Structures are given as C-alpha cells and as structure tokens.
Structure 1
Amino acid sequence: MDKANLPIIDIGALRHGDKEGSQQAAQLIDRACRDVGFFLVVNHGIPFDSIKATFEHARAFFDLPLKEKLTLSLEKHSNCFRGYAPVLSELADGKPNSYELMEFSVEFEHDHPDVLARKPMHGPNLWPELPGYRAALTRYIEHMIHLGFDLMRGIAMGLGLEDDFFRRAFNGRPFWQFRTAHYPDPASLRAMSSAFPHVGQVPQVEVGDQSCGAHTDYGCLTMLLADSPGLQILTTDGEWVSVPVVPGAYVCNVGDMLQYWTRDTYVATRHRVMTEGERISLPFFFQPDYETIVEPPDLFPVLSSKPFPALRYGPYAFEKYRGIYPGAVFSR
C-alpha cells in the first residue's frame, strides 16, 4: 500500500514564540488542514523521557491479568467514560474495534459541584495501582495540553484569526480526552475475546480491517504517537494510504468540530487502523471546554448552503461518546 505524502512541519518557532517562524509554521499547518486534514510535527518540545515513560507504563498496564484490568472497567466502574475497555467493546462506524484501551479525561473529584450536579462526562479518572503510573501519565498530559494550545494558536494564525481565538473560545481549559490503546497481535484476538460475553460478535470481525474501523474524530485536533505502523487515511480518490511512523513526530489531524468551526474550510479525513502485529498508540484528543459555544465565524467562505448554527460542545461530545461506548453507564 502506498504511503501518505504528508507534510512534516517544524513547530519549534511556534512553541518558542518566534513571530516570523510561527507565521511560517502556521501557513504550512493551514495548507495541510485545508488539503488533507493530516500533518506531522517535529521539534514539538515534548520531552523524550516523558514519552518513553508513558509508553512503558501503558504497556505495563496492558500486561496485567484481565481480571485486574477489569477492576477499572469503564462500563462498570465509571459513569463518565473513564477507565478500561477490553477488545471489541468500543465502536467505530458502528463496528467493534479490536483493541483494548484506558481512557482518561479532565479530572473532577467526587465532591466537585459539576459531579454533584451529575453533569455528563464529569468525574474522576480510574487509575491503576502501578508504581509511577499516575505521575508519568499526568506529566505527559500536561505537556500535551501546552502543545495543543500552541498548535491551535498556529491554526488561528493560519486562518487569519486572533492568535488567542481558540484559547478564549475554550475558556482557557480544554476538555481533553487521552487514551492509551493496545492492539494485540491479530492472531491472538480471538483468544483474548473469548473471555467476554460479546464473544458472539467475533465471527463478524474481519481481523485487519477492524483493528480500528473507518471514522473521523469528533473533536478539534488529534495528536498521536504510535510505536508501529497501522494508521491509514482515505484519499479524495477513494484509496487507503498508510501514514508512515516518523521517529519523534506526532501525527496530527483535524476533527469534525474544527471542520464545523471553519465552515468546511478544513477537512476531517476518514482514517482507520490495520495492524499486522502488536501496537501501542497514544492518541490525545484536544477538545473545547464542555461549556464552549462553537459559533463558526462569518469570515470563512460559504462552500455550500449547509447551515452552521452555534452549538454547545459538551452535549455534542456526550452524544458521540454514548455512541462509541454503548455498554457504558453515565450520569446526566
């Protein structure tokens, strides 16, 4: 399969505040978001030791016995879509994905007013009792929040908006989602799935095509690292092409909400994962604050007669999560 010819963009100037260099990076990001919806970034400033520790702790958790992982079940022990989901329990395009994952989001303690008010998607994360795990992932998440805001600043610049347009729109606090995902060796998928009540779904799973089904991300911007290939994007010609794994580079892609915010000026491209072996990935979904009102500015060209009314991000995201985790309980 052909490799995607995605731009590799140096964002060092954007991260360090160099005005001229930031503008150049912003122009490259803007072009990629308009043309293909995917790009890679290097010189991103995320410390190597933090990346390495996050991969190591992710693998340590997935190596635990299934019974221990299920004590953190997203479906049984969380009402806000946090925790562990086994293989074939999460859906993409209505089909089960063949990876297991740990899902995290903004931390809200049990006594937070929004939790007490049963606000959807608000609550505590579920953390495994592995030495150093929570500290390592928390450090990594903090780095990713800063990276996300810098990339959104570059996107604002490329769109001709004020530099802090998205930070203000996000109320200064993203409602991020972060997951660690483990794709087992396809040959072992059937054996892993035999422990679950939805084993009857396994015959319908075509190993390879369903590693992660074709979909678009529903937030604003996804930033991804993976330890092996598998990610593919759908071209405008209807062909699937593989995204190369460039050492040290994050794969970034436009989500549905950023496409909506720009009145379809930017494109959220369908993508999937097809694995040939074991794979660990770290997707970080950079999303608006739950209370953000997404109101597409009039400055973007009208490409169709489709309306773009203002919407509140939180309820939109809540409905999306209900669709991908049909077995989860939730507060509302």
Structure 2
Amino acid sequence: MPEQVPTPPEDFTEIPVIDIAPLLADDHPERDATVARLGDAARRVGFAQLVGHGVEPAVFERLLDATRRFFALPLDEKMRCYIGDSTNHRGYVPIGEEVFAGGTPDHKEAFDLSFELPADDPRHLAGNPLLGPNRWPDLADFRAPVIAYYEAVFGLARRVLRAFAQTLGEAPDRFDRHVSAPPAQLRLIHYPFDASARDRPGIGAHTDYECFTLLRPTTGGLEVMNGAGDWLPVPFVEDALVLNIGDLLELWTNGEFTATTHRVRRVPAERYSFPLFFTVDYDTPVAPLPAFVTPERPAQPPLVSGEHLFAQTAQSFRYLRERLETGSLTLPDGSRPLASFGREARTRSATPTG
C-alpha cells in the first residue's frame, strides 16, 4: 500500500519542470527520485513540464512542417477528410466544430488521428466508434512524419504510465496489460492569427478525458486552474512536453491525482499544438484502486474507459451532437456530463445550492 501523506494545498502558483531522462533507463540511479517528482506534480498540480524526454527535435520539426503544409491547404481540400464523414472519429476538424461545456465554439482547426488498426479489424467492423484505420489527406510527405512523431511520444507515454504505477505503490507494469490497441489520439491543432483573441477563447475550459496528455506547443497560451479557482499561465519552455492528468487517472486514484481544468486563451499570434491523449484499451474497466478508498474518501463510481471517452467526445463535437439530437446516436449507459472531473467540478459540488 502506498504511503498515505497529507495532500498539500491545491492553490499552487507555478508548474513544475521535471527532467525525466532517468525514466528512459530502467536502472538509472535517479529513477526513483524522478518517479517521486512526477507523483508529487500529479497530486498537487495535475500539470508538469517534462524535459529530457528523448523525443528528437528533428522528429518534431518534420511533424511541424507537415502540419503547416496541411493547414495551408484551401478549406475545400481539408474538408475532403472532414471528421464528420468518418466512422471512427478521424480526420479534419474545422473551426467551430467543437464546443466545450458552457463555452463558445473554439477558434481553432485540427486534424485528428489515433492508434491505427486495419480496416478489417473485427472491432472496427463491429462498429466501434473510436477504433480502426486513420484517414489521410492526399498530401505528399504527410503521413510518415506524423506517424513517426506519434510512435515516439506513444512510446514515451508508456514509460510515464509505468512511473505513475510505481508512485501509486503498484507494480510498474500494473497498467501495461490495458495498453494493446488504445484509442490514444494525436491532434494536430492550428490556432490562426486572431486580432480579437482577448474576447474569445482558443479552446474552452475542460479536463482531458483520458489517462494523461503529453502536449508539444509552439508558443504559450495555455492556462490552468489552481485550487483557489485562479487561472495561471503555463510558461512556454522550449522543447518541453506539457504533461497533464486526465479523468481516468483521477478516477483510478479516487482523486489522489488531479485532472486539472485548463484552457487556451488570448492567442493573438498563430499557434500550433500537438497533444497526444494517452489512454488505455477501449473496454478497460476503471474503478478506484483499493489503496485510495477509505471511509473518509468513498469510491467514485466506475466507468469503462472507451465509453467515457466517446461520451465526452459526442457531447463536444457538433456533428455528433446533431446525431444525439436526432436520436440516430445514443450515449453509453451511465455517461457523465461534460466537465464532471477536475477542480472546477469539485468546486461546483462543494458549493451549497438553494
């Protein structure tokens, strides 16, 4: 059982920067200390800046070049890969397609892909809404650099997941059996220049639905909410990957880890960002680990990882919301509303009504 220590106050004022190079070698003498730093960041803040991650700069530069060339295409060219025409939520996301809980349409466009399975995979043929092949634009030298980046960060994410298992007092491979073909999504996001950015968000306030996210941005603009309800900027650190905890690790740890609410605000300059939303296999049941359930902290209701991800996605994408409204699509039983995890949700639940 992990050592039970008092949780420090949540009104943090800065985002920790952690050198995770020791995680890249299982026998590194600083590995345990690095694992402890990650655990502290996950408990207190829910965010960290990761340096020493080993993702080669050239891999990222090729991804960035391919992304710029794609978003420079005419809209009708990009819409040939429109996500609403896919059967497993892959492709181009135009400006205004996404709306988070209580927000206005996001001022961004994106290209979404995920763990690739062949078109004849039984799960895809059975109609799973998030599994199967990716859709690719007819653009030279696009797919290869995107896949190279995906594979590099996905491999790193598996090491981070093992570190989280260790800091929770579990065997490092505790979660490995749940990572065979997860709907772990990579988004290529473009925030166009917006002279009125002070008056509208780039992306609305939310938590991420998966286990955790590894984000590579090209500029600042990201903000996080601390325990006092204040919004703090995440400083731009060259070559860093921004880590944030998602809904599933908050649930698995019964609130020991925090899915921190965040947003992109005031983006007056053109900005690109590349989040990998790392998660576990679609059918994975997620319930609080016994070590974190006490009479004072009763267990949160369990969920199925992929069903939660799909339900949250369906409530935030315009093309899926329209299907919900017409009845051609229904949410999985027990689906939670948007923004049901994180500090903002805790604040709402603790606020008296009436």
TM (norm. structure 1) is 0.88
CA displacement at 1:90 relative to structure 2: 0.9
Residue in 2 that maps onto 1:192: none
The answer to whether the aligner puts 1:316 opposite 2:315 as a matched pair is no
Structure 1 residues 55 and 141, CA, compared in 2 at 3 Å: closer, same or farther?
Answer: same
Q: CA deviation at 1:306?
A: 4.6
Are the counterparts in 2 of residues 171 and 292 from structure 1 also a CA contact under 8 Å? no
Tell me how far 1:305 sits from its aligned partner: 5.0
Change (3 A) 1:316 1:243: same
Q: Show the counterpart of 2:318.
A: 326
User: 2:206 aligned with 1:215, yes or no?
Assistant: yes
| 2:166 maps to 1:152 | no
**2:119 matches 1:110:** yes
For residue 291 of structure 2, give the secondary structure of its aligned residue in structure 1: coil
Contact 1:179–1:283 (8 Å) recurs in 2: yes
> Is the 1:74–1:81 Cα contact (8 Å) retained in structure 2?
yes
CA contact (8 A) 2:250 2:256 kept: yes
Residues in 2 aligned to 1:320 and 1:286: alpha-carbon distance in whole angstroms: 15
C-alpha displacement of 1:61: 0.5
Secondary structure, aligned partner of 2:175: helix
The residue type paired with residue 279 of structure 1 is R
- Determine the C-alpha separation between the residues in 1 that align with 2:181 and 2:295: 31
Structure 1 position 321, deviation (Å): 1.1
Gaps of 5+ in 1: 190-205
Is 1:44 aligned to residue 53 of structure 2?
Answer: yes
1:88 alignment partner in structure 2: 96
Q: Which residue of 1 aligns with 2:260?
A: 269
Q: Residues of 2 paired with 1:261 and 1:314: CA distance?
A: 14
- Secondary structure (helix, strand or coil) at the match of 1:272 reads strand
- Which of the pair has the greater relative contact order for Cα pairs under 8 Å at 6+ separation? 1
State the distance in 2 between where 1:213 and 1:78 align.
24
Distance, in Å, in 1 between the alignment partners of 2:22 and 2:306 is: 32
Q: Is the 8 A contact 1:295 1:311 kept in 2?
A: yes
Q: What is the SS of the residue equivalent to 2:14?
A: coil
One-letter identity of the residue aligned with 2:318: P
Q: Distance in 2 between matches of 1:94 and 1:178?
A: 25
Q: Distance in 1 between matches of 2:313 and 2:255?
A: 23
Partner of residue 233, structure 1: 224
Q: Specify the code of the residue in structure 1 equivalent to 2:289.
A: P
Among candidates 262, 272, 289, match of residue 280 of structure 1: 272
Aligned to 1:20, the other structure's residue is in SS state coil
In 1, Cα distance between the equivalents of 2:183 and 2:24? 21
Alignment match, 1:167: 176
Counterparts of 1:303 and 1:90, CA distance in 2 = 39
Distance 2:295 2:203 in 1: 31
Aligned 8 A contact 2:154 2:276 in 1: no
Percent identity, aligned pairs only, is: 35
Residue 107 of structure 1 contacts residue 123 of structure 1 at CA under 8 Å; is this kept in 2? yes
Does the CA contact (< 8 Å) of 2:91 and 2:111 recur in 1?
yes
Q: Structure 1: which 4+ aligned runs deviate by more than 6 Å?
A: 329-332
Asked if residue 78 in structure 1 is aligned to residue 86 in structure 2, the reply is yes
**Separation in structure 1 between the aligned mates of residue 24 and residue 329 of structure 2, nearest angstrom:** 38
Equivalent residue, structure 1, for 2:24: 15
Q: Which residue of 2 aligns with 1:299?
A: 291
Query: What count of residue pairs does the alignment treat as equivalent?
Result: 311
CA 1:300–1:94 in structure 2 vs 1: closer, same or farther (change >3 Å)? same
CA RMSD of aligned residues (A): 2.0
Residues 208 and 16 of structure 1, relative CA distance in 2, 3 Å threshold:
farther
The aligned runs of 1:29-40 (5 Å cut-off) are 29-40=38-49
TM-score, length-normalised on structure 2?
0.83
Please name the residue that 2:36 is paired with. Answer: 27
Name 1:199's counterpart in structure 2. Answer: none
Quote the Cα distance in structure 2 between the aligned partners of 1:299 and 1:12: 29
Code of the residue aligned with 1:269 in structure 2: it is T
Contact 2:20/2:53, CA 8 A, preserved across alignment: yes
Deviations 1:156-211 (A, max 9, x none): 1111110111212x244432011000001113x8xxxxxxxxxxxxxxxx755421
Equivalent position of 2:338 in the other structure: none
Within 1, Cα distance between the matches of 2:119 and 2:170? 38
Quick one: structure 1 residues 308 and 237, their matched pair in 2 at CA, closer, same or farther if it must change by over 3 Å? closer
